[in-house]
Amino acid sequence: MANIIDRFMGVFSTDMGIDLGTCNCLVCIKGDGIVLSEPSVVAVRKGTKQVLLDGQAVGNTAKEMLGKCPGNIEAIRPMKDGVITDFDLTEAMIKYFIRKVHNRRRWIRPRVAISIPSGITAVEKQAVLLSAEKAGARRVYLVEEPIAAGIGVGLPIQEPVGSLIVDVGGGTTEVAVLSLGGIVASRSVRVAGDELDEAIIEHLKSHYNLLVGEQTAERIKIQIGSAFALEQELTMEVKGRDLMTCMPRKVVVTSEEVREALNHPITLIIRAIRETLEKSPPELSADLVDQGMVLAGGGALLRGLDKRITKEIEIPVRVSDDPLTAVAKGTGVILENLDRLKDSLESAEDL
């Protein structure tokens, strides 16, 4: 009886591909592409799991509250380093996205493909599956982020040829050599956009005795951050709290010093690329000499990252056309081609 009800509700549901990221969640649906892109943030009443605004304080609404909440409200990121840290709030977030895509209709049971980091454990995978199922999905498929990103940027991952994808997200950087629909060699490191922001926060603390929040650090990274010397260096006025006087203060920061602050996490990302290439079979390594690598994820937008990697790895590097949406688009393509791509997926039966 339950299966009949699920199939009936499935007729009125839209299958969804979700890039369940540490910083942002993107949703892709068949025929319409990316229909939703919001921060992975949930606002709750402090000490409870009660989502504010009748369950609607999720995404953009909640992010506006980060660092600005009164004592009785918390704005929480339920994902950390690409994995779930708060099961109930992740469920609430996925439920919000499912309802929003379906215009808040009830009686819906979509099939959902969700991207996951390649290095997570079976327990962490199970948490993603259960969260999506409890949020209203009738069938959940898990796809590793490098495979979804490779499909999303149009790499020939089903062919007997090597493709190298580097997905620099918010919580993890996924590096993988792909061939014949699967991952041949990979590294997943928990060094990505969040660590770049943290490096900027620490730099301002140590050099200026200035404390800034996550959102300010992210703005600095976007406006003047770089991984390689710029033709014209940039400056930015930064406002925060003086650690000595506890009073508001502003300083002027240069792109050169931000680049120096970002050097350590970028070095760790490049090391992960080297280690992946060292594990690759010789025939696929030969392919990569000409094919090079493709950068995806929000971190790929950091100025000069492609030039820095090219200088140190000495193979061609290109940034995908729309790196922020690569993984989400890949999950959408997978849902449209389930029969052909099912070997690249995991579901409840596999765990």
Query: How many domains does the chain contain in total?
Result: 4
Q: Are 147 and 331 in contact (CB under 8 A)?
A: no
pLDDT, one tens digit per residue, over 298-311 is 999 999 999 999 99
Q: Which long-range contacts (CB under 8 A, 24 or more apart) does 154-163 make?
A: 155/294, 157/181, 158/340, 161/284, 161/287, 161/291, 162/280, 162/283, 162/284, 162/285, 162/286, 162/287, 162/288, 162/291, 163/287, 163/291, 163/294
Would you state the structure tokens that stand for residue 51, as one six-digit string?
């989502």
Confidence of residue 194 (pLDDT cuts 50, 70, 90): very high
Predicted confidence at residue 2, as pLDDT, reads 44
Q: Judge if 144 and 98 occupy the same domain.
A: yes
pLDDT digits (tens, 9 = 90+) for 195-226: 999 999 999 999 999 999 988 999 999 999 99
| Domain with 128 in it | 2-38+83-148+327-350
Could you read off the pLDDT of 268-326 as tens digits, one per residue? 999 999 999 999 999 999 999 988 999 999 999 999 999 999 999 989 999 999 999 99
Q: Is 118 inside any structural domain? A: yes
> Do 109 and 239 reside in the same domain of the chain?
no
* pLDDT, tens digit, 9 for 90 and up, residues 77-122: 888 887 888 888 888 898 888 888 877 566 678 889 999 888 788 8
Across the chain, what does the average pLDDT equal?
Answer: 88
Structure confidence at residue 7 (pLDDT)? 53
The yes-or-no verdict on residue 242 having pLDDT over 80 is yes
- Both 187 and 198 in a single domain? no
One domain for residues 22 and 49: no
In-domain check, residue 154: no
Q: Are residues 183 and 135 in the same domain?
A: no
**136, 108 in Cβ contact below 8 A?**
yes
Verify that 300 and 340 share a domain, yes or no.
no
185 pLDDT tier (thresholds 50, 70, 90): very high
The model's pTM is 0.88
In this prediction, residue 110 carries a pLDDT of 85
In a domain, 153, yes or no: no
CATH number for the domain spanning 248: value is 3.90.640.10
